[in-house]
Each structure stands twice: as C-alpha cells, then as structure tokens.
Structure 1
Amino acid sequence: LFTQTKEEQYWREAKGTKSKAAARRAEVRRQADMEEEEINKAMKKPYKTANSVAVPVTKVTEAELRKRRE
C-alpha cells in the first residue's frame, strides 16, 4: 500500500514537470510568434522621416529627356 502511493506520487510529479516544460515551450513559442508578427508589422509601415530627408526629385520634361539622350 505504501509503495503504491509513493509510486503514484512519483508519476504525478513526473507528469507535472513534463506539463510545466511543455507550457514553458508553448509560452516561448507564442512570444517568438508575437515578436515576429511585430517585426513584420514594422517592416510594412512606411518610414516617416525617409521622405523628409530624401533629396527632392527634379521634374524633367519629355523634351529635356530627349535633349539629354542626344
């Protein structure tokens, strides 16, 4: 009787650690997915200061382009 309860306790503890480890892995995986999602969102957003820092493009007419080609 005593050994049986001890064995049951052993297996309960063993299951507990396995489920804790699985929960930890699932949490880490979930955090990694969230970080990846945030990175993807950040990559899709336009960079606000890029337009203000960039040199304005000069407008060229068709006639000027033809002159440059010649």
Structure 2
Amino acid sequence: MTIVRDDEHSDGAPTIEGTGIRVKDVAEAYEHSGYDPDEIVQLYPDLTLGDVHRALAYTGRQNG
C-alpha cells in the first residue's frame, strides 16, 4: 500500500492507504516504544512488513 493524505480522514495526516493507520503512529511505535517492524505488524495486523518499512522511510524523508 502507499502513503496517502486525505483531509477528510485523520485531519489530513499521512496514513497507510486502505487502513486509516497514521504514519505517525507507526513511527512512534518504532521510535518511542521500541517496537521492531515485526512487532509493529503484530500491533497493526492490517499492515504488512512492507507497509511498516514504507511508513518508516516516509517519516525519515519528512524529518531528514
């Protein structure tokens, strides 16, 4: 899936398409809670490992 923005959902925050899961939530699980990508998939079963990596890469581009 891809990263999308929709002003009608999640206040326009980037989300993973088709899930409603915010990129920010994935990044916080990784950076602040210390979960690895496999654990994040367990937290958010609608995501694939590829989705998690795309979300983390997106966050890195936005912050970098």
- Tell me if both proteins adopt one fold, taking TM over 0.5 as the criterion: no
- Give the strand-richer structure, 1 or 2: 2
Smaller-chain TM-score range? under 0.3
User: TM-score, normalised to structure 1's length?
Assistant: 0.24
- Give the helix-richer structure, 1 or 2: 1
Q: Which has the higher contact order (CA 8 A, sep 6+)?
A: 2
User: TM-score, normalised to structure 2's length?
Assistant: 0.27
- Structure having the higher Rg: 1
